[in-house]
Amino acid sequence: MSDAHRSAIDPRIERSRQVVLKAALEELGAVGYGAFRIESVAARSGVAKSTIYRHWKDKLALIGDAFETFHEQQAPDITSGTPRERLERVVRHVAEVAGASVFSACIPALIEGAERDARVRRLHHQFQIEARRPLVALIAEGVAAGELPAYVDPEIAASALLGVVFYRRLMSSEPLDPEQADDLVGDLFGPTPPSSTD
């Protein structure tokens, strides 16, 4: 949603929207996709079911909007720093989100839903493509700048970085510590090359 569009929305409506989206993520994480109901989101948020349906046609539209909004609001600032510094910042942020956030509890629910429903699968895959895009671009920028090895394939490298974070979240009892983000980048790409001024 554009800034101009947001500014035209009644603040009370936007506050209610945020409450509903947060409740939707909490509900998804608590009960999973199959048991997710708009009625339960209404009860959790305190917003009337009729109001929710006025803005979202079904539960998939609500979940999709919640994921997109959460991603936009929580994305780290990558407007400053070297490509490698920004890359480490993104990996640290992903580890924080995957380890302890309202979104973290939704990850298994969305994967489970994607296995059973083609519409959820399309939503899940499209969301992941869009969410991964800045990371791929940062890796490509780092390669072009000589901060990352020339042989690195940005798409594969992005999948490798995210794979570690989500493997630790989903397949082990210890999510990746965000403080290990720099070590993970170093393990995959090698040490930071010395600057030309060193």
Domain ranges (residues) in the chain: 1-74, 77-190
Q: What residue type is 49 in one-letter code?
A: K
Please tell me the CATH code under which domain 1-74 is placed. 1.10.357.10
Across 82-92, b (16+ Cβ under 10 Å) vs e yields ebbbbbbbbbb
Domain pair 1-74 / 77-190, same fold? yes
Count other C-beta atoms under 10 Å from residue 151's C-beta: 6
Stretches where the chain sits below pLDDT 70 are 1-9, 195-198
Count other C-beta atoms under 10 Å from residue 61's C-beta: 13
CA triple 168-105-58, angle to 5 deg = 135
How far is the C-alpha of 27 from the C-alpha of 52, rounded, in Å?
Answer: 14
Q: What is the pLDDT of residue 2?
A: 45
How far is the C-alpha of 160 from the C-alpha of 107, rounded, in Å?
Answer: 18
81-129 confidence digits (pLDDT tens): 999 999 999 999 999 999 878 888 899 999 999 999 999 999 999 999 9
- What is the second-level CATH architecture of the domain 77-190? Orthogonal Bundle (1.10)
How far is the C-alpha of 39 from the C-alpha of 54, rounded, in Å?
Answer: 13
Whether 90 contacts 76, CB under 8 Å: yes
Residue position matching structure tokens 């070297």: 82
Q: What is the pLDDT of residue 100?
A: 79
Q: What is the pLDDT of residue 185?
A: 95
pTM: 0.83
Whether 21 contacts 29, CB under 8 Å: no
Q: What is the pLDDT of residue 147?
A: 92
Q: What is the pLDDT of residue 195?
A: 64
